[in-house]
Structure 1
């Protein structure tokens, strides 16, 4: 397992997964993703500007509904990094394959975090445990974090 530890967050991810990150200073957004060799991926977006979690979740649901003809949405109760999340599990069809996506949104002293992980149901049979392990390893550092001023 590899460790990502920047921007007030840390998480572990599989050695053979690829990590990428983008920083949009103009809009106060940092995006970090890890992806498998196939199509499964795990993504976290950190919003340093004040964005209500409900708004992020609703915007994301709208994007899925605009992109896919039929989207089934299931409300779920989840905690990430010790924080209670607004959470939805989605099922939709893409390229004749059933896909699942998992949306999680929570707030910290530093940012609002949006986590999305997804894959085809066939692929998730082998990658879901990795995706959930990444989520389970997620840790966030609130305003007591030593590098706080470097990321705000």
Structure 2
């Protein structure tokens, strides 16, 4: 397992997964993703601007509904990094394959976090445990974090 530890967050991810990060200073967003060799991926977006979690979740659901003809949405109760999340599990068809996506949104003293992980159901039979392990390893550092000024 590899460790990502920047921007007030940390998480572990599989050695053979690829990490990418993107910083959009103009819009106050940092995006970090890890992806498998196939199509499964795990993504966290950190929003340094004031955006209510409900709004972020609703915007994300709208994007899925606009992109896919039929999206089944299931409300679920989840905690990540000790924070209660607004959470939805989605099922939709893409390229004739059933896909699942897992949306999680929570707030910290520093940012609003949006976590998305997804894959085809066939692939998730192999990768879901990795995706859930990444989520379970997620840790966030609130305003007491030593590098606070580096990320705001």
TM-score w.r.t. the length of structure 2 is 1.00
How far is 1:58 from its partner?
0.2
What residue is the counterpart of 2:135 in the other structure?
135
How far is 1:6 from its partner?
0.1
- Partner of 1:109, secondary structure, is coil
How far is 1:84 from its partner?
0.0
How far is 1:27 from its partner?
0.3
Structure 1: give runs of 5+ residues left out of the alignment: none
| Runs of 4+ with deviation above 3 angstroms | none
CA RMSD in angstroms comes to 0.2
Alignment partners' CA distance in 1, 2:120 and 2:65? 17
How far is 1:125 from its partner?
0.0
- Partner of 1:102, secondary structure, is strand
How far is 1:44 from its partner?
0.1
Mapped pair 1:120 → 2:102? no
Alignment partners' CA distance in 1, 2:21 and 2:136? 20
What whole-Å deviation, never above 9, does each CA across 1:52-89 have from its counterpart, x for those lacking one?
00000000000000000000000000000000000000
**What does residue range 1-152 of structure 1 map to in structure 2 within 5 Å?**
1-152=1-152
- Partner of 1:146, secondary structure, is coil
